[in-house]
Amino acid sequence: MQFIDLQKQYQVLKQGIDRRIEKVLSVGHYIGGEEVKELSEKLASYCGTKYCLTCANGTDALTLALRCFNVSRGDAVFVPDFTFFASAETPALEGATCVFVDVDERTFNIDADKLEEAIKEVLKEGKLNPKAIITVDLFGLPANYKAIRKIAEKYNLPIIEDGAQGFGGSIDGKKACSFGDISTTSFFPAKPVGCYGDGGAVFTDNKDYYDLMCSLAVHGKGAYKYDNVRIGYNSRLDTIQAAILLEKLDAFEKYELTDRNRAAAEYTERLSKKYVAPEVPQGFESSWAQYTLILKDERERVELQKWLSERNIPSMVYYPKPMHEQSAFTGLPDRNDKLKVSSELSKKVLSIPMHPYLTADDIEKICNALLEFKDNE
Ligand SMILES: *Cc1c(COP(=O)(O)O)cnc(C)c1O
């Protein structure tokens, strides 16, 4: 059994994917081109934003977004403490100081009340200039944008939605990657929609940001390509990856997202009697980048992982260390007493297999093993 079964997905989509790759090879156009254009348009339309620019990966997407707000030294950027490193790495790379904010213990996403507390704290101290909020749609569930948007407006801060895991999720029918002033996603193979290598995208309704990111992603190009008007990057999505993504996005829209939700619903129905299952608030929909249980403690997690692996069931810990415990961030002002939920979660979370090609038998086997473990404890 695979944790995320990309081989099975390829077997199902093989014909379409192979045909699209062959077309790129026969045309011989490997950067940009028809596929990239078609994909950006489809992505924007799927997420309901005016603009979408594809780029090299989800980390670059965050960097492109941060550059639009001139995030730099002396700035504070608010980042959830419980996330993948890139959410915090990118503002730090711009020279800004990350202010980590604790997360909600049931949704794993940034806690809006604690976000406002952190902003007030920075303002009161007067050392850093609050510049932007990075939200993360962790494990596929959009963050609480109603509350976060209010705070962003109150303190006049832009929201960068890190939708690397959130693509496909929604709130009241509005799709993820449309909630930020700029939103980003990743097409790393294991994400809800992944390519066969690295890939990413930025989304916005703002033409100025879009134009700036188009320039930044191609060496800071000006209207005339060989007049470079700013220092940028080489951050493009390859044509072959775009071709693969066109086929995968189609399957995601047609049935994969539904099947992810079906698998998650079955897990929750069977497991919630004995486990703390992930919570999806009213009106929200997750794209289930991960299906994550909260266990009693670290000891139970070690034992359960062993129990599962003896039964050939893979499981993963996302994430074993919150941002404030990362070695790269030692030396930041100590707010550790305010980050207790993230610290606790990092000891207790366990993600179990999640992908749209899980069979009823797979789910049965996984649930039985998890329930038997509790009976044996
Ligand atoms: C995967 C991920 C990223 C980075 O995406 P890459 O394409 O791997 O660069 C950023 N943020 C979060 C929350 C992620 O899960």
- Interval between CA 4 and ligand 1 midpoint (Å): 16
Residues with C-beta less than 6 Å from any ligand 1 atom: 57-59, 83-84, 86-87, 136, 162, 164-165, 186, 188, 198, 200
pLDDT tens-digit map of 90-134? 999 999 999 999 999 999 999 999 999 999 999 999 999 999 999
Residue to probe by mutation, ligand 1, list 87, 236, 351, most atoms within 8 Å of CB: 87
Find all residues with CB under 8 Å of 65, minimum gap 6, and list them: 160, 180, 182, 183, 184, 202, 209, 213
- List the structure tokens of 136: 């993360």
- Interval between CA 164 and ligand 1 midpoint (Å): 5
User: Please, what are the domains in the chain?
Assistant: 6-100+107-247 (3.40.640.10), 255-375 (3.90.1150.10)
Q: What is the pLDDT of residue 115?
A: 98
pTM greater than 0.85 (yes/no): yes
- Interval between CA 61 and ligand 1 midpoint (Å): 9
| CA pair distance 155, 160, nearest whole angstrom | 15
pLDDT tens-digit map of 24-63? 999 999 999 999 999 999 999 999 999 999 999 999 999 9
Which residue is closest in CA terms to ligand 1's atom 7?
A: 58
Q: What is the pLDDT of residue 336?
A: 85
| CA pair distance 175, 108, nearest whole angstrom | 19
